[in-house]
C-alpha cells in the first residue's frame, strides 16, 4: 500500500508576534516552548497548524524473486497524491502481471545513460554510428539528460516532436524519432525493461522526397565550369556520381570518428566500422566491374545477400578513372583522399560560385538525377536497383518509372506528326533534351552523314583501346 505523508510546513500564530513557518513540527514546538508554551494542552486555539501544500507518496513493492523497487513523489494536494499513488500501484500490478517481476536497473537509469547504452549496443557497428551519435546527443539534451528514462511521458515526447517540426525537415524529424522508438524496442527486447513505448503511434510529417529535382537549363555546364575553376579535384567525384548514382559515402571516406566513452563498464565497446570509400583494389578494368564493399543498406540485408554491390565499369566510368589510376603511384588504397564532409562543403561552394549561382542543388541531388537518367537506360526497377543500390523496388517504380504527362506526349508524338516531329520526340525520349541538342550539334559538324556514321561505329572500340 502507498504511504502518503503530509510534508507541508508548520505555522505558528501567537498574539503580538509575527507568524512563523517551520519545516518540521519539532522545530515549531521548540519555538513555542521558547515563547512560554511548553505544554501543548495549553496552546491558544489556532496557534499551531500544518498547511496542506505538500504531500509525499512512498510506494515499496517486492516481486517473488526478491527484487524491490521504490517509487516516490511529492504533490501540492492530497487528492493529487492519492491519484498518483493509485495510478502507480496500477502500473506496478500491470508489470507484475505481464512481466512477472521488476527490473531494478529501470528505476535508476537516466535518459542519457539509456541512449548512450543503445548506441554502444545497437548503433556502434553500423555505418551510421557517427550520425546517430549526434542525434543521441540532442535527444538527451531535449528530453533532459538527468531525467529518469522511466519518467519520460507521452507529453514529453509530443513536446519534443513539436520542437523538431519547428527546426528540422520532415526527413530529419523521422530520423530523430526512429532513434527514440529504437530505444524503447531495444530496452524491451534486450534489457527486459517493462516500459511502454512512449514514441509509438506519433503523427509524423510526411517526407516530400520524390524525384522532382533535375537539371534546370544549363545548370550542369555551369556546375562543371565552377568546379573546374574552384575545386578541380571534385570533378571526377561528381562525374562518377552522375554516371552510376553513387552515394557520397561510397566514393570517399567518412569523417574521422572518436570512440564514444563507455558509460557503463559492463557494456563492452564495439569496434567501429564505416564505409571507407572506393578503393583501387575494387576497380577491375579487365572484367569491367566496380565493386563497392559496403553500402548504406547493408544492415537491412539478410544473411543470404552479399554486402555492398557490384556495378558495370562502363566506358564513361573508365574515362573518369583511368587517368587517376595512371597517376596513382601505388595502384592500391583509396581512389580519393577527400572525405564526405569536404565533398559536401566544396560542392555547396561550387554551386554558390557558379555563374549565376545554382540553388536547391546538393550532392545527393546528383544521385537522384543519375537514377532518373539510368531509368531511361534500363527497363525495370529491379535492374535499376542493381545499379543504384536502392533497397525499395516499389519506391523506384513510383518515383522513376511513373510516366509523366510530357513523357506520354513524347510517346504519342513519336508515332504521329511529321518525320521531324517523330524524330525529335524519339531522340529526346532516349537522350533527354540537353543531350539531344548536343547530338544534333555533333551531326551538323560532321563533313557528311556517312562519315559521321563511320565514326560512331568505330568510336566504342577506340575508346576501350585508348583506356586499356
Domain layout of the chain by residue ranges: 3-102, 107-189, 219-400, 405-467
As a whole number of angstroms, the distance between CA 277 and CA 294 comes to: 9
As a whole number of angstroms, the distance between CA 346 and CA 343 comes to: 5
pLDDT confidence of residue 191? 93
pLDDT confidence of residue 451? 83
Among all chains, which residue has been given the C-alpha cell 513523489?
73
**For the domain bounded by 219-400, which CATH number is listed?**
1.10.443.10
Instruction: Work out the average pLDDT over 229-258.
Output: 89
Which phi and psi angles does 255 have, rounded to 5°? Answer: -65, 155
Residue 157: count of CB within 10 angstroms of its CB: 20
Q: Which residue has the higher pLDDT, 421 or 329?
A: 329
* Residue pair 439/293 in contact by the 8 Å Cβ criterion: no
Q: Which three cell numbers stand for residue 219?
A: 545548370
As a whole number of angstroms, the distance between CA 354 and CA 266 comes to: 54
Tens of pLDDT, residues 70-91 = 889 999 999 999 999 999 899 8
Q: Which three cell numbers stand for residue 191?
A: 534489457
As a whole number of angstroms, the distance between CA 335 and CA 252 comes to: 8
* Residue pair 346/234 in contact by the 8 Å Cβ criterion: yes
Instruction: Work out the average pLDDT over 260-273.
Output: 44
* Residue pair 62/107 in contact by the 8 Å Cβ criterion: no
As a whole number of angstroms, the distance between CA 26 and CA 6 comes to: 15
pLDDT band (50, 70, 90) for residue 101: confident
As a whole number of angstroms, the distance between CA 328 and CA 339 comes to: 18
Instruction: Work out the average pLDDT over 450-459.
Output: 80
Residue 464 has pLDDT above 60, yes or no: no
Q: Which three cell numbers stand for residue 276?
A: 571507407
pLDDT confidence of residue 430? 76
CA angle 291, 295, 297 (to 5 degrees): 140
Mean pLDDT, the chain, rounded, equals: 86
Spell out where 318-427 has E strands: none
Instruction: Work out the average pLDDT over 185-199.
Output: 91
Considering only 104-108, 341-345, 418-422, which range has the smallest mean pLDDT? Answer: 418-422
Instruction: Work out the average pLDDT over 421-425.
Output: 79
* Residue pair 187/193 in contact by the 8 Å Cβ criterion: yes
Q: H or E element: which one contains 21?
A: strand 20-22
164 contacts: CB under 8 Å, gap ≥ 6: 172, 173, 176, 177
Q: Which three cell numbers stand for residue 456?
A: 560512331
pLDDT confidence of residue 206? 84
Residue 182 has pLDDT above 80, yes or no: yes
Tens of pLDDT, residues 15-68 = 888 999 999 999 999 999 998 888 877 888 889 999 999 999 999 989 888 889
Q: H or E element: which one contains 251?
A: helix 248-251
pLDDT band (50, 70, 90) for residue 455: confident
202-238 per-residue burial string, b: 16 or more CB within 10 A, e: under 16: bebeeeeeebeeebeeebbebbbebbeeebeebebbb
pLDDT confidence of residue 46? 87
Residue 281 has pLDDT above 70, yes or no: yes
pLDDT confidence of residue 376? 85
Looking at the DSSP bridge assignments, the partners of residue 309 are 292
278: region left, alpha or beta (phi > 0 left; psi from -120 to 50 alpha):
beta
Long-range contacts of 393-398 (CB under 8 A, 24+ apart): 396/371
Q: Is the Cα torsion angle 83, 85, 88, 92 positive or negative in sign?
A: negative
pLDDT confidence of residue 460? 57
Percent of the chain with pLDDT over 90: 53
pLDDT confidence of residue 407? 63
As a whole number of angstroms, the distance between CA 341 and CA 75 comes to: 50
* Residue pair 10/54 in contact by the 8 Å Cβ criterion: no
pLDDT confidence of residue 450? 85
Tens of pLDDT, residues 392-412 = 888 888 888 766 666 666 567
Tens of pLDDT, residues 340-380 = 999 999 999 999 999 999 999 999 999 999 999 999 888 89
Residue 205 has pLDDT above 60, yes or no: yes
pLDDT band (50, 70, 90) for residue 196: confident
* DSSP state for residue 339 in the 8-state scheme: B
Alpha-carbon torsion, ordered 433, 434, 440, 443, to 10 deg: -140
Which phi and psi angles does 48 have, rounded to 5°? Answer: -125, 125
Distance of CA 153 to the CA centre of its chain: 23
pLDDT band (50, 70, 90) for residue 210: low
Instruction: Work out the average pLDDT over 130-138.
Output: 91
Amino acid at each position: 500500500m502507498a504511504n502518503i505523508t503530509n510534508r507541508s510546513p508548520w505555522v505558528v500564530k501567537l498574539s503580538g508576534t509575527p507568524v512563523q513557518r517551520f519545516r518540521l513540527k519539532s522545530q515549531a514546538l521548540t519555538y513555542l516552548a521558547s515563547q512560554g508554551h511548553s505544554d501543548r494542552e495549553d496552546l491558544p486555539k489556532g496557534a499551531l497548524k500544518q498547511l496542506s501544500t505538500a504531500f509525499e507518496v512512498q510506494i515499496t513493492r517486492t516481486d517473488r524473486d526478491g527484487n524491490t523497487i521504490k517509487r516516490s513523489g511529492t504533490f501540492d494536494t492530497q487528492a493529487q497524491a492519492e491519484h498518483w499513488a493509485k495510478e502507480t500501484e496500477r502500473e506496478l500490478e500491470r508489470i507484475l502481471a505481464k512481466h512477472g517481476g521488476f527490473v531494478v536497473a529501470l528505476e535508476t537509469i537516466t535518459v542519457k545513460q539509456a541512449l548512450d547504452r543503445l548506441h554502444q549496443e545497437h548503433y556502434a557497428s553500423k555505418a551510421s554510428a557517427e550520425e546517430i551519435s549526434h542525434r543521441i546527443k540532442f535527444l538527451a539534451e531535449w528530453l533532459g539528460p538527468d531525467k529518469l528514462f522511466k519518467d519520460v511521458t507521452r507529453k514529453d515526447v509530443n513536446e519534443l516532436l513539436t520542437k523538431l517540426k519547428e527546426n528540422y525537415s520532415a526527413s530529419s524529424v523521422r530520423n530523430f524519432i526512429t532513434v527514440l522508438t529504437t530505444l524503447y524496442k531495444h530496452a524491451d527486447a534486450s534489457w527486459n525493461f517493462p516500459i511502454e513505448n512512449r514514441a509509438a503511434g506519433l503523427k509524423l510529417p510526411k517526407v516530400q522526397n520524390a524525384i522532382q529535382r533535375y537539371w534546370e537549363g544549363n545548370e550542369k555546364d555551369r556546375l562543371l565550369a565552377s568546379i573546374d575553376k574552384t575545386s578541380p579535384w571534385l570533378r571526377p567525384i561528381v562525374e562518377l556520381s552522375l554516371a552510376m548514382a553513387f552515394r557520397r559515402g561510397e566514393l570517399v571516406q567518412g569523417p574521422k570518428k572518436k570512440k564514444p566513452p563507455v558509460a557503463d563498464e559492463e557494456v563492452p565497446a564495439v569496434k567501429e566500422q564505416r564505409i571507407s570509400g572506393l578503393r583501387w583494389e575494387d576497380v577491375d578494368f579487365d572484367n569491367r566491374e566496380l565493386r563497392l564493399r559496403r553500402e548504406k543498406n547493408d544492415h537491412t540485408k539478410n544473411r543470404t545477400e552479399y554486402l555492398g554491390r557490384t556495378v558495370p565499369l562502363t566506358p564513361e566510368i573508365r574515362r573518369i578513372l583511368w587517368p587517376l589510376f595512371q597517376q596513382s603511384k601505388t595502384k592500391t588504397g583509396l581512389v580519393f583522399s577527400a572525405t564526405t564532409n569536404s565533398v559536401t562543403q566544396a560542392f555547396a561552394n561550387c554551386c554558390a560560385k557558379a555563374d549565376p549561382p545554382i540553388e536547391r542543388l546538393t550532392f545527393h541531388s546528383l544521385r537522384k538525377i543519375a537514377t532518373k537518367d539510368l531509368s531511361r537506360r534500363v527497363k525495370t526497377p529491379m535492374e535499376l536497383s542493381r545499379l543504384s543500390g536502392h533497397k525499395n523496388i516499389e519506391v523506384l517504380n513510383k518515383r522513376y518509372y511513373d510516366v509523366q504527362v510530357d513523357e506520354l506526349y513524347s510517346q504519342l508524338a513519336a508515332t504521329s506528326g511529321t518525320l521531324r516531329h517523330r524524330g525529335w520526340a524519339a531522340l529526346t525520349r532516349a537522350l533527354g533534351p540537353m543531350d539531344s541538342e548536343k547530338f544534333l550539334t555533333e551531326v551538323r559538324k560532321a563533313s557528311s552523314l556517312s562519315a559521321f556514321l563511320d565514326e560512331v561505329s568505330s568510336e566504342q572500340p577506340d575508346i576501350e583501346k585508348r583506356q586499356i
